[in-house]
Amino acid sequence: MYSIHSINSCGCGIPGRADITNQLINERDVIFMTQDPLTLYKLIVLYMLNKVKFKLTYAQISEFILEKEYTNFLTLQEVISDLQDTELIKADTTMNRTYFSITDEGRNTLSYFGNRIGEAIIADIDAFLDEKHLELKNEASITSTYYKATSGEFEAQLIAREKDVELVNIKLSVPTEDMAASICDSWQKKNQSIYKYLMQELF
């Protein structure tokens, strides 16, 4: 069951005020003074994951939270770990990259305690997600990697997803690492035109 303990877990001490950005004034200062900052950080992460229709990486989550100076790197790692331990978010690793999504339990918890975030912070999150929407979506849905196969050649794997559905999953074997890296780089830049070409030729 969801509970405030799920959000405010691990028995950690309350960080000092310096752990919250100086921008948290007026409304945001009131929020900070009336609850454990770790709870606020967890709610921010849950809100971000619930707001988008695709998974987010740690780097994408931290880009907002750390740039706004809500907290530091180590505290954010603790927050993510606590959310996973309490099964409010889940992690999926694909091609050496970890993606986070909110669980049903996380949504239930957010529905009960989301009002603790405050309108000013929500406005900041919404603005960030609106501005970065396409960039975040492409980074989450378009992936590429390469590795050395047992044959001695290098295999480049190219994937395009829409939500949790794989639209394309291509593996190409090439003789050199430089070629494999170049293919992965081209996929990140040209995936839409490549996908369109495949659809036209195959159908």
* pLDDT tens-digit series, residues 131-177: 876 666 666 677 788 889 989 999 998 888 766 677 889 999 999 99
pTM, whole model, 2 decimals? 0.61
User: What pLDDT shows up at residue 154?
Assistant: 94
Strand partners, 89: 102
* Rounded Cα gap, residues 105 and 122, in angstroms: 21
Residue 120 sits at φ, ψ, to 5 deg, of: -65, -45
List the chain domain ranges: 4-134, 141-202
Confidence category of residue 187, pLDDT binned at 50, 70, 90: confident
Confidence category of residue 121, pLDDT binned at 50, 70, 90: very high
Residue 61's Cβ-side half-sphere holds a number of Cα atoms within 13 Å equal to 29
Task: Specify whether domain 4-134 bears CATH 1.10.10.10.
Answer: yes
23, pLDDT greater than 60: no
Q: How many helices (H) and strands (E) does the chain have?
A: 8, 6
> Is the separation of the CB atoms in 43 and 114 below 8 Å?
yes
